[in-house]
Structure 1
Amino acid sequence: MLYPWQESLWQQWQQLLDQERLHHAILLLAPAGSGREALARQLSKTLLCSNGVTEPCGVCHSCRLFEAGNHPDYHQVAPEQAGKQIGVDTIRKCTRLAVETSQLGGQRIMQIDFADAMGEAAANALLKTLEEPPAGCQFILMAEALDKLLPTINSRCNKWRLAMPDEQDTRRWVGRQLMQDVKLEIVRINGCAPLATQAFIEQGQDIRYGNLLSAFAAFLQPPHLGLQELVGMFAKEGHHSLSWVSYFLVDCLKLQQGAGSFLVHSESLPLVQQAAAAVTSPLLMNQIRKANALHRQLDTHTGLNTELLIMDWLMGFMPQPKL
């Protein structure tokens, strides 16, 4: 089942299917929480279907096997753990399967989720197969952005970008799913991705996020009390909380520069005003850069002392002792 914001792209794929012009390697660029998996599954099911050309029939043996989750010609590759790389051995197994004969006499599908999580060796192992694709084999790669993929992989794929609905459409869609009002700032910090926004609220992150912002804005006021408690809140939410606070600090900078009508945190204006009055623009810009760099560091390297690094960053807001 597709989501409303996926219909336009799906119709374009259907036209290519009808004309037998679909590229052997599709690269779907879409953020997490966009429902991109549903779109990839719809394409896979259609290609594997014994009767359909642009839609799966839903009743043939292939469709029933696919829905049961045990279709022998559908192969899905993903990191073994969230945030980990896809190893070269996993990709080599995928490429071996790609050249095998279809068990049902139809297409073979190699779906690579989080293709941007392939290491260089894994990407190079895939490259030769993409350059010389086996007959009857369709590759479907999914990634958030191009910058983490090798240019050689990019050049061998037909790239498609899934557009997110605008913030008001996302707000209304999530509101209907949850039967409640949804704050625009929650939609915005989730990049307008509907499923990410929905999950954010269902898991109570919106409440914890609000508590974190309140504690952070209070900490920015002299004499900067509550450091240990704030570090604990950041650590509990994980390093992604740094990106949330980065949005907040950018809003403080916007307010200082007279761009208050372009705030992400439109419903938390008092907190933005409070923080913007307490921190100078040069310090804000410096701490925003450091927060983004720290987020990338923690996202890339596991095993670091998150609490210690976040505490060091927070202490950057406090007056430094004179020598």
Structure 2
Amino acid sequence: MVHEYPWLENVWRGLQASMAAQRLPGAVLLQSDADLGVEVLVDAFAAALLCKTYPDQACGFCHSCDLVKSNNHPDLHRILPEKEGKAIGVEQIRHCNRLAQESSQLGGYRLFIIEPAEAMNESASNALLKTLEESGEQCLFLLVNRDKKRLLPTIVSRCQQWTVTTPDLNAAVEWLRQQGVKDVAKDLLKLSHYSPLQAKAMAQAGGLAEYQKLEALFLSALTQPWGDITELVLFIQTSSQRNLTWLWYLLSDAHKSAFRLDSQDLLPGSQTLSHCPLIRLHSAMESLTQLMQQLRTFPGLNEELLITNWIIQIREALCL
């Protein structure tokens, strides 16, 4: 599976080399942007580390590999938030710390996967730090992380660090082409935070058509100063954070187009907006950023009213 995602290859080869040379540290920090399929890399590493046949990859047929595939390996432990969006608590880390002091049940490595590592609260982080300072032989902690700034620097400093990076635009477009997504690959990548996997899923779900409808409604609202914006507001509310983010990308591309910046992936509607004064485009982007932050922080607010007010405000400023 790792080989299906080319952007994982460099990190995977590095981890394989460490396993083959028997030079693994006590802790590994795997840093990745969201939606890059890093879970495939984590699973491949766990299977390879615990395999009894080969030193740097899983054979797929030994007893250990069978246990990994059935999620029953006694030396493989996954530490996750007990509920989505919640923290990883100190008791969870203390429990895995106790397990780390025990012997391997199958006579090999004991692997503790903490994901996402940034979900550990302060007490949990401090508890883990003590264990990393005193980790035993053939005991490895794999911290899977999206935001290194939220980890204690002392934890980061004790880890061997690997980073999975988002592939460049041309590589991502080529991968999508191989998956059968061709003509609109660049637009899909822009709207999917440049995640090839998310772009592919968006293509399969007809997401580009949703963006095109949003863009058409938005541009129509800006060209009709007194027109009804009810349909636009209701459409935005079907997935407010996603749709507002898409509008932010559109305004950002208009800003780039107005500066005549050479970019391969400007959204089609940005050319229409690029004729607006730069200072007003910038102001619209700032107010949209504030709106999205407000809706994320205070979910109980009147979403419809806030979105309506924002559209009226920028329509007056950007009226085409």
Give the TM-score normalised by structure 2: 0.86
Q: Give the Cα–Cα distance (whole angstroms) in 1 for the partners of residues 126 and 98 of structure 2.
A: 14
Per-residue displacement from partner, 1:138-184 (whole Å, max 9, x unpaired)? 11122223233333332222221113332222223223324654431
* Cα drift, residue 212 of structure 1: 1.5
Per-residue displacement from partner, 1:108-159 (whole Å, max 9, x unpaired)? 1111222233333433332222233243221112222323333333222222
Q: Secondary structure of 1:111's match? A: strand
Q: Secondary structure of 2:314's match? A: coil
Give the TM-score normalised by structure 1: 0.86
Are the counterparts in 2 of residues 10 and 39 from structure 1 also a CA contact under 8 Å? yes
Q: Secondary structure of 2:179's match? A: helix
Partner residue, 2:127: 125
* Cα drift, residue 48 of structure 1: 0.9
* Cα drift, residue 273 of structure 1: 2.3
Partner residue, 1:286: 283
Question: Is residue 2:262 matched to residue 1:265?
Answer: no
Task: Please point out which of 206, 209, 212 is paired with 1:210.
Answer: 212
Structure 1 unpaired stretches of 5+: none
Q: Which amino acid aligns with 1:99?
A: Q
Q: Which amino acid aligns with 1:287?
A: A
Structure-to-structure mapping, 1:171-210, within 5 angstroms: 171-178=173-180, 181-210=183-212
* Cα drift, residue 63 of structure 1: 0.5
Query: Structure 1 residues 85, 246: CA separation in 2 closer, same or farther (over 3 Å shift)?
Result: farther
Q: Give the Cα–Cα distance (whole angstroms) in 2 for the partners of residues 225 and 93 of structure 1.
A: 61
* Cα drift, residue 303 of structure 1: 4.6
Q: Give the Cα–Cα distance (whole angstroms) in 2 for the partners of residues 309 and 86 of structure 1.
A: 34
Structure 1 runs (4+) greater than 6 angstroms displaced: none
Partner residue, 1:32: 34
Task: Please point out which of 61, 74, 77 is paired with 1:75.
Answer: 77
* Cα drift, residue 297 of structure 1: 4.7
Partner residue, 2:274: 276
Are the counterparts in 2 of residues 224 and 318 from structure 1 also a CA contact under 8 Å? no
Q: Secondary structure of 2:238's match? A: helix
Q: Which amino acid aligns with 2:273?
A: A
Q: Percent identity?
A: 37
* Cα drift, residue 9 of structure 1: 1.7
Per-residue displacement from partner, 1:281-313 (whole Å, max 9, x unpaired)? 222212212333443454456555444443343
Partner residue, 1:170: 172
Q: Which amino acid aligns with 1:264?
A: D
Are the counterparts in 2 of residues 248 and 264 from structure 1 also a CA contact under 8 Å? no
Question: CA RMSD, aligned part only?
Answer: 2.6
Query: Structure 1 residues 55, 263: CA separation in 2 closer, same or farther (over 3 Å shift)?
Result: closer
Query: Structure 1 residues 230, 115: CA separation in 2 closer, same or farther (over 3 Å shift)?
Result: farther
Are the counterparts in 1 of residues 79 and 114 from structure 2 also a CA contact under 8 Å? yes
Q: Give the Cα–Cα distance (whole angstroms) in 1 for the partners of residues 287 and 124 of structure 2.
A: 31
Q: Give the Cα–Cα distance (whole angstroms) in 2 for the partners of residues 310 and 88 of structure 1.
A: 40
Query: Structure 1 residues 182, 258: CA separation in 2 closer, same or farther (over 3 Å shift)?
Result: closer
Q: Secondary structure of 1:165's match? A: coil
* Cα drift, residue 35 of structure 1: 1.2
Q: Which amino acid aligns with 2:266?
A: H
Query: Structure 1 residues 84, 226: CA separation in 2 closer, same or farther (over 3 Å shift)?
Result: farther
Query: Structure 1 residues 155, 256: CA separation in 2 closer, same or farther (over 3 Å shift)?
Result: same
Structure 2 unpaired stretches of 5+: none
Q: Give the Cα–Cα distance (whole angstroms) in 2 for the partners of residues 76 and 225 of structure 1.
A: 54
